[in-house]
Amino acid sequence: MLQKSRCLRNLIPSSSFCSLPKIAAFYASRAASSVQEAFEPSTYSGSDDENGDIDWDNLGFGIKQTDYMYITKSSNDGIFEQGQINRFGNIELNPSAGVLNYGQGLFEGTKAFRREDGRLFLFRPDQNAIRMQFGADRMCMPSPSIDQFVDAVKQTALANRRWIPPPGKGSLYIRPLLIGSGPILGLAPAPEYTFLVFASPVGNYFKEGLSSLNLYIEDEFHRATRGGVGGVKSITNYSPVLKALTRAKSRGFSDVLYLDSVYKKNLEEATSCNIFVVKENIISTPPTNGTILPGVTRKTVIDIASNHGYQVEECTVPVEELLDADEVFCTGTAVGVLPVGSITYQGKRVDYKTESQLVSRDLYSTLVGLQSGLLEDKKGWFLEIE
């Protein structure tokens, strides 16, 4: 049974993921730029109707080159210059760039949506900005201000507005990147940083669409460890899990669910999403204690569930408690809110209900209602872009 006594009673504050220290001035001296744009600044002049022959019904989740991207770089005092929209294209990096040699890089993911009346909205981009600032501090990198980050995302969405799918057909996935672009040979922070934002129209992340997921619990490889960077969106978190993910998918599973690296028995998160376990009226999810990414959708779902009368608890969830759960579901920017149909652990498969009155469907319906404008956004989660 889920043990409430082990659960943390204080949920994440609604205003931020955690108490961020005041980010000090970064690195007094910077070298000259090593990133050269392979394109010229451009002003967007397209319209919503110029979307070509896009098959909105079969988008999937893959890169589809759009028209424009946003780019800026840090100046000598670690402050990012005013960025500008450029034609989408390749960039050039010095072979000794910090991101190429030491993996000094972060990324974020957010979405733009189109409503029935044609208005365009972003979903909580300020939370992505806060998370990038927190990650940048951990990785010894300067970061754009919250306003600069949100403005960059907004500009990118507007410049590529013809790529934002019709209502119900998908969204424009927006990928902000912060990389150490300056040349460095010895292990140290890069002398220069580049912040860029690109976008791609997407449909469902998993091939199952909105159907339930089949997860495999990995007990050989671990996604993160205490004291590492599992709690920030570092680029270094992702390629190490490819082996486990590829192996699981070759066996027919949707994704991998990882255990903690110390006791090897407590749930952490899946490769691409956070995990929630439901027992009666209690919804439990592992706490963001440094090894788990504090997802924006996770944070939103916690708030929605609490408003719906569920008892939401951040607590240690031993793998054994999955055997007694009524329902399991995942959340993430890319995946949204999806129920889990089965979990396989050490050769034993546990099936969960995926029909009738699902908690995850209830939460998903509310999230989509807010996204589409059918429900009132009382908390200001959606930012309209002109």
Output 372 or 25, whichever has higher pLDDT.
372
Query: pLDDT value at position 48?
Result: 53
From the number of C-beta atoms within 10 Å of its C-beta (0-12, 13-18, 19+), residue 118 rates as exposed
% of the chain residues with pLDDT over 90: 75
Q: Which of 233, 348, 353, 378 is catalytic?
A: 233
Q: Could you confirm whether 233 is annotated as catalytic?
A: yes
Structure tokens at 297: 């959708």
277-333 per-position pLDDT tens digit = 999 999 999 999 999 999 999 999 999 999 999 999 999 999 999 888 999 999 999
Alpha carbons 161 and 233: distance in angstroms, whole number = 26
40-60 per-position pLDDT tens digit = 444 444 455 555 578 888 888
Alpha carbons 47 and 172: distance in angstroms, whole number = 15
- Which residues does 355 contact at the CB level (< 8 Å), separation at least 6? none
Per the CB < 8 A criterion, the answer to whether 141 and 98 are in contact is: no
Query: pLDDT value at position 50?
Result: 59
Alpha carbons 258 and 103: distance in angstroms, whole number = 23
Task: Using CA atoms of 28, 33, 37, 38 in order, give the dihedral in degrees to the nearest 10.
Answer: -160
